[in-house]
Amino acid sequence: MTFPRWFLRLLAVAPCLAVMPALGGEFDTRIPMSSGGAATFYVQGQLGDLDTTDFMVDTGSGYMTINQATLDRLSERKLASYERDLIGVLADGTELKVPVYLISRLELGTGCVLENVEAALFPAKRQILGLNVLNRAAPFIFSVNPPELVLSHCQPDMVAEAEPVAVPGLQPVVAQPQ
């Protein structure tokens, strides 16, 4: 049997590709996730110098969200500042205006530090790790077996200012003085 030349080249290169480590800090941070039931998964994170808390990993959410109690504690320590408002469209089609804050530091698991992350203040108790943060640590892998989040480029010296993520249904609005 005769094989095409390209197939033979592929066979020669494949073992090298299989053992070649990821380059440039890609996939270098593994964060265990815990199951919350109903196909939800959580990672532990720390905002600023606050206590560690759970964030639901939600790749369908455009923004990380925090609750009012967390914002109050961050504001007391001057670790959060108001940025702007967003109009979000919820799954049921309802529009909701939410303020977005710049948080000085977020550590996910142990060792994945991201500085100056945006978080939307959401009227819910649960806090969400959304695509704006996951994009900063991209490429990433969301694995359910084993349950872990694998992130790239998230050490403090490797964090670069990422371009804003275009999220369908979310539009910035000009903040009005209150």
Domain boundaries, the chain: 24-173
Q: What is the predicted pLDDT for the residue at 2?
A: 63
The model carries a pTM of 0.72
Pick the CATH number of 24-173 from 2.40.70.10, 3.30.310.10, 1.10.40.30, 3.40.50.1970: 2.40.70.10
Is residue 150 within 8 Å of 141, Cβ to Cβ? yes
pLDDT band, residue 44 (cuts 50/70/90): very high
CB atoms within 10 A of CB 122: 20
φ, ψ for residue 139, nearest 5 deg: -70, 150
- The residues facing 148 across adjacent strands are 32, 143
Q: What is the predicted pLDDT for the residue at 119?
A: 97
Q: What is the predicted pLDDT for the residue at 26?
A: 83
Identify the CA nearest to 56 among candidates 114, 124, 103.
124
Is residue 160 within 8 Å of 45, Cβ to Cβ? no
